[in-house]
Amino acid sequence: MTTTIHNDLNPRIVLGAADHRQLSILAMAGLTHLPDQSDTLLHELERARVVDDTKVPSDIVRMGSTVHYRTDSGQEPRVTLVYPVDADIAESRISVLTPVGTALIGLRVGQSITWRDRANKRHMLTVLEVTQPEVTLSP
């Protein structure tokens, strides 16, 4: 009998302090409505290295980032990571409270992570490109 060992990929992730604070609030609030996904997000937040917002590298996935990634099935979607209220799959805006959204937060270009979908099926993705939203300054 052959035993296959599947090691999960859990690369180091980085979050800015503001995203970490807001996502912690979101995850705690979601524990009663989306307990599994909120718990997974809390786990990611616990293992993240939190840095000053001005020190987050530009190739890190943060809230509002547009991410081009490759799946283990060879697809290469491009999505924008948003809060649940702004999610719209038809517009490729995915919630951070979805399994893939939680997997993406804090990753940098070139990193891969394994994650489980709502049916508990294991997947892997690799970040190919990250684009940050344009910041408009008030006059």
pLDDT at 1 over 80: no
Cα separation, 93 vs 123, in Å, equals 20
Q: Which residue has the tokens 């524990």?
A: 31
CATH architecture of 14-131: Roll (3.10)
The SS3 of residue 94 is strand
Return the closest-CA partner of residue 103 out of 119, 90, 122. Answer: 122
Q: Residues 54-104: pLDDT tens digits?
A: 999 999 999 999 999 999 999 999 999 999 999 999 999 999 999 999 999
Count of other CB atoms within 10 angstroms of residue 120: 8
pLDDT for res 135: 66
pTM of the model as a whole: 0.89
Return the closest-CA partner of residue 112 out of 129, 99, 125. Answer: 125
Strands 93-95 and 78-82 turn out to be parallel
Q: Residues 18-37: pLDDT tens digits?
A: 999 999 999 999 998 889 99
